[in-house]
Chain A
Amino acid sequence: MKRWTPNTILLTAWLVFVCAAYPGYVDEYGVNMLADARSAWYSGAQSPTMTSLWSVMEWFIAGPSGMFLLQGTALLLCAYHLMRGALSDRASAYLAGALLLLPPVLATSSIICPDAQFVAFLLLGLVGLRAKNRPAQIAGGIALLVAGCVRPLGAAAAFPLLAIALPIRLSTRWRQIGAALIATVTLAFISVGVNKALVDGDEHSKVRTDRGMAFAQTLGTSPVRTWRPTYTRFVISKDVGKQLHVVAKHSRVQSAIEKIVRASGKTPLFYPLVYFILEVALFGFLAIRRDPLPFAIAASGMAHELALYWVDGAPRFEHSNWLIISTLLAAALSWRRFRRPEPSPAAPPDPLPLAESPAPASAA
Chain B
Amino acid sequence: MGQLFERVKVWVAARSPRQILLFGFALFVLYGFPGYMSNDSVNQLLEARALTFSDGHPPFMAAEWSLLDRIIAGPVLMFLLQGGLFLVGARMIFERAFCPRGAAWAAIGTLLFPPILSVMAVIWKDAQMAAYLVAGTGYLLQPRLRARIFGLVLLIIAALVRHNGLVAVFPIILLVFELRSGMRLARRLAVVGGAAVVLVGLTFGVSRVLTTSHVQLTPMWSDIVGVIAFGDTRSDDDLREVLRGTPLVIDHGFQPQARILYALRGAYRITQGDERMFRLAETPEESAALSRAWKDLVLGDPGAYLAYHWNDFQDLLGMNPEHPPGIMWNWFLEDSGNQVDMIDHDATWSRFQWRVSVVVYWIGVHTPLFSPWFYALLAVVVGLALCRARLPAALLLSGVLYEFSFFPAGANPDYRYSHWLITSVSIAVVLMVKQRLTRRRE
A19: Cβ under 8 A from any B Cβ: yes
B50-73 vs A, CB cutoff 8 Å, 1 = contact: the mask equals 000000000000000000011111
Closest A residue to B29 by beta carbon equals A61
B97 to chain A, nearest CB (A): 30
A58 to chain B, nearest CB (A): 6
Closest B residue to A251 by beta carbon equals B73
B262-305 vs A, CB cutoff 8 Å, 1 = contact: the mask equals 00000000000000000000000000000000000000000000
A241: Cβ under 8 A from any B Cβ: yes
A91: Cβ under 8 A from any B Cβ: no
Establish whether residues B33 and A61, one from each chain, have CB atoms under 8 Å apart when the complex forms. Answer: yes
Establish whether residues B352 and A245, one from each chain, have CB atoms under 8 Å apart when the complex forms. Answer: no
CB contacts under 8 Å to B, within A168-188, are: none
Q: A242-B340, A248-B74, A251-B69 are in contact. Are A62 and B346 (CB under 8 A)?
A: no
Interchain CA distance A214-B33 in the complex, whole Å: 41
Interchain CA distance A253-B73 in the complex, whole Å: 9
A4: Cβ under 8 A from any B Cβ: no
Partner of A248, one of B30, B341, B344, B350: B344
Chain B residues touching A, range = 20 to 34
Establish whether residues A62 and B73, one from each chain, have CB atoms under 8 Å apart when the complex forms. Answer: no
Interchain CA distance A251-B70 in the complex, whole Å: 5
Partner of A19, one of B72, B74, B352: B72
Interchain CA distance A254-B347 in the complex, whole Å: 19
Establish whether residues A61 and B30, one from each chain, have CB atoms under 8 Å apart when the complex forms. Answer: yes
A63: Cβ under 8 A from any B Cβ: yes
Interchain CA distance A254-B70 in the complex, whole Å: 8
A23: Cβ under 8 A from any B Cβ: yes
Q: A22-B76, A242-B340 are in contact. Are A62 and B347 (CB under 8 A)?
A: yes
Contacts of B348 in A (CB 8 A): 62-63, 244-245
Establish whether residues B347 and A63, one from each chain, have CB atoms under 8 Å apart when the complex forms. Answer: yes
Establish whether residues A245 and B347, one from each chain, have CB atoms under 8 Å apart when the complex forms. Answer: yes
Q: A61-B30, A61-B33, A62-B350 are in contact. Are A247 and B73 (CB under 8 A)?
A: no
Closest B residue to A55 by beta carbon equals B351
B217-254 vs A, CB cutoff 8 Å, 1 = contact: the mask equals 00000000000000000000000000000000000000
Interchain CA distance A242-B348 in the complex, whole Å: 10
CB contacts under 8 Å to B, within A231-269, are: 238, 241-242, 244-254
Establish whether residues A59 and B351, one from each chain, have CB atoms under 8 Å apart when the complex forms. Answer: yes
B136: Cβ under 8 A from any A Cβ: no
A165 to chain B, nearest CB (A): 27
A134 to chain B, nearest CB (A): 15
Partner of A246, one of B346, B349, B353: B346
Establish whether residues B344 and A60, one from each chain, have CB atoms under 8 Å apart when the complex forms. Answer: no
Q: A242-B340, A249-B345 are in contact. Are A59 and B352 (CB under 8 A)?
A: yes
Interchain CA distance A250-B70 in the complex, whole Å: 9
Contacts of B76 in A (CB 8 A): 22-23
Contacts of A251 in B (CB 8 A): 69-73
A195: Cβ under 8 A from any B Cβ: no
Establish whether residues A247 and B344, one from each chain, have CB atoms under 8 Å apart when the complex forms. Answer: yes
If A19-B72, A246-B347, A253-B70 are given as contacts, then 20 extra A-B residue pairs at C-beta distance below 8 Å, sorted by A number, are A22-B76, A59-B352, A60-B30, A60-B350, A61-B33, A63-B348, A65-B33, A241-B346, A242-B340, A245-B346, A245-B348, A246-B346, A247-B340, A248-B344, A248-B345, A249-B74, A251-B70, A251-B73, A252-B70, A253-B71
19 contacts between A and B (CB under 8 A): A18-B72, A23-B34, A23-B76, A59-B350, A59-B351, A60-B352, A62-B350, A63-B347, A63-B348, A245-B332, A247-B345, A248-B73, A248-B74, A249-B73, A251-B70, A251-B72, A251-B73, A253-B70, A254-B73
**A-B residue pairs, 10 tightest by C-beta:** A245-B348, A249-B344, A247-B346, A251-B73, A62-B350, A252-B70, A59-B351, A249-B73, A245-B346, A62-B348
